[in-house]
């Protein structure tokens, strides 16, 4: 099977059967194209089903020579492994050539978090007299109170808000829905925003159901969320390097510090594997260590 045909069929598989987001699909295919180009130009392998473990090792050496980081190599090899698992599933190959390949180890980097006081300071610093003050405050509180990914935030829909019942529904990775409870503070903020700000906007056609809109009445972008957060953090005097994901990490670590069950946090974050959520155990241990160093008399 030639590379072009294989990648086209794999794209259809990712769209129709795996229901991956466009960004995820393009990332997978981008990694596969690196392998295809290497095989065609350096190894003269035109049939993707003829790849051997030794060919893959040569490709890894090529990645080293291009100064690809361990993280990039691990991501690329994971993408390629998934592709060859698909080929085996389709009976195109009998043995996955990646089964004998060791993936590079990646140092675990703990995510940056903010304290509850820092979160409160940023949210309280929002100027509610401004045109989009209510919106910006609601965005920040939603990120923190619900632990949403930025993509989930910008795609949040009014039809999935159940304020009287006290929950909302988000569409996460793989188009999976999850229900997230709302606290009283966030419910109040959302109602204020919808009533005082959004209801007076001219909303663009096709954007009527999106909760958060820009000044043209259209769905906000990821970049705009980053811009809003950076602006409000600077105004609040918070100089850490933060992003919308920092609020998500803070949401999870604060729940864990407060005694929440790890499985419950996994469900709220929409993690497919508990191992992804377990990173917050390391944050919790780091917090305990810092508290001992700061407050124990035997320093």
Residue 140 near residue 122 (C-beta atoms within 8 A)? yes
**Active-site residue (options: 149, 198, 249, 254):** 149
The pLDDT value given to residue 296: 44
The predicted-structure confidence for 54-68, as pLDDT tens digits, reads as follows: 898 899 888 888 877
Active site (annotated) includes residue 144: no
The predicted-structure confidence for 117-126, as pLDDT tens digits, reads as follows: 999 999 999 9
Active site (annotated) includes residue 200: no
The pLDDT value given to residue 43: 87
The pLDDT value given to residue 108: 59
The pLDDT value given to residue 105: 59
Domain 3-100 sits in CATH at 1.10.150.130
Active site (annotated) includes residue 245: yes
CA–CA separation, 239 and 219 (whole Å): 28
**What residue segments make up the domains of the chain, in order of their start?**
3-100, 116-295
Say whether pTM exceeds 0.75: no
The list of the chain residues with pLDDT below 70 reads 103-111, 276, 279-299
Would you mind telling me the total number of residues written for the chain in this entry?
A: 299
**Active-site residue (options: 20, 135, 248, 254):** 248
**Active-site residue (options: 34, 88, 160, 173):** 173
Strands 161-162 and 167-171 turn out to be: antiparallel
Active site (annotated) includes residue 189: no
Cα angle 84, 92, 52; round to 5:
55
Active site (annotated) includes residue 271: yes
Task: Tell me whether domains 3-100 and 116-295 share a fold.
Answer: no
The predicted-structure confidence for 190-245, as pLDDT tens digits, reads as follows: 999 999 888 888 999 999 999 999 999 999 999 999 999 999 999 999 988 888 98
Active site (annotated) includes residue 85: no
Residue 8 near residue 51 (C-beta atoms within 8 A)? no
- CATH fold of 116-295, please? hpI Integrase; Chain A (1.10.443)
Average pLDDT over all residues of the chain? 87
**Active-site residue (options: 18, 85, 103, 245):** 245
């Amino acid at each position: 099977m030639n590379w072009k045909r294989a990648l086209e069929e794999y794209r259809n598989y990712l769209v129709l059967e795996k229901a991956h987001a466009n960004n995820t699909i393009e990332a997978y295919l981008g990694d596969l194209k690196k392998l295809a180009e290497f095989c065609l130009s350096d190894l003269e392998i035109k049939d993707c089903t003829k790849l051997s473990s030794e060919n893959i090792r040569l490709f890894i050496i090529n990645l080293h020579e291009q100064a690809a980081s361990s993280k990039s190599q691990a991501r690329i090899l994971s993408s390629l492994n998934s592709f060859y698992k698909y080929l085996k599933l389709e009976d195109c190959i009998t043995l996955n050539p990646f089964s004998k390949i060791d993936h590079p180890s990646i140092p675990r980097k703990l995510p940056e978090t903010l304290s509850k006081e820092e979160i409160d300071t940023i949210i309280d610093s929002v100027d509610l007299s401004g045109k989009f003050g209510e919106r910006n405050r609601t965005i920040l509180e939603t990120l923190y109170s619900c632990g949403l990914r930025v993509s989930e935030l910008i795609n949040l829909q009014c039809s999935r808000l159940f304020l009287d019942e006290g929950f909302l529904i988000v569409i996460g990775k793989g188009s999976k829905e999850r229900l997230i409870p709302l606290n009283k503070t966030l419910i109040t903020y959302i109602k204020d925003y919808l009533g005082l700000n959004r209801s007076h906007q001219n909303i663009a056609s096709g954007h009527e159901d999106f909760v958060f809109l820009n000044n043209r009445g259209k769905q906000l972008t990821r970049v705009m969320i980053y811009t809003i957060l950076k602006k409000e953090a600077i105004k609040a005097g918070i100089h850490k390097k933060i992003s919308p994901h920092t609020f998500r990490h803070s949401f999870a670590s604060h729940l864990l510090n407060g005694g929440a069950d790890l499985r419950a946090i996994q469900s709220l974050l929409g993690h497919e594997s508990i191992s992804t959520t377990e990173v917050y155990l390391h944050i919790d241990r780091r917090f305990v260590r810092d508290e001992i160093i700061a407050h124990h008399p035997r320093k």
